[in-house]
Amino acid sequence: MRHTILALGAAALAAALALTAPSGARAATGTFSYFTRQGAVTHGITDPVDGRCYAVGHAQGVTGNETDRNAYLFDTPDCQGAAAYFPSGFYRVETFQSVLFLR
């Protein structure tokens, strides 16, 4: 079941990032993997930067977070609106358009 976090907008994410990374954005370690179509070749984001929005197109299918950061999945291409929490080390079937990583 998808856990939706309401009212998690860009301002709240920026504030959270400012509190967790005072010396600037830092990169996660590891790879976040996803598909853009069922049965398609897998895509990956390696060592994503904290607080950066990654537009992924129309991702759908098995998604895996093998980074050391929690991810937030959005149904929009610009990390706006409600987000679904996707913890580090987690795999599940998802549909989303952008992803944001936070420490």
Structural domains of the chain, ranges and CATH numbers in brackets = 4-102 (2.60.20)
25: nearest Cα among 58, 5, 47, 45: 47
Greater model confidence, 73 or 13: 73
Summarised one tens digit per residue, pLDDT across range 44-68 is 999 999 999 999 999 999 999 999 9
Residues in the chain: 103
pLDDT at 50: 95
pLDDT at 42: 87
71: nearest Cα among 30, 15, 39, 37: 30
pLDDT at 36: 86
**Torsional class of 5: left (φ above 0), alpha (ψ -120 to 50), beta (otherwise):** beta
Give dist(CA 97, CA 1) in Å, integer: 18
pLDDT at 14: 41
Mean pLDDT of the chain: 82
Summarised one tens digit per residue, pLDDT across range 3-28 is 444 334 443 444 444 444 444 567 88
pLDDT at 18: 45
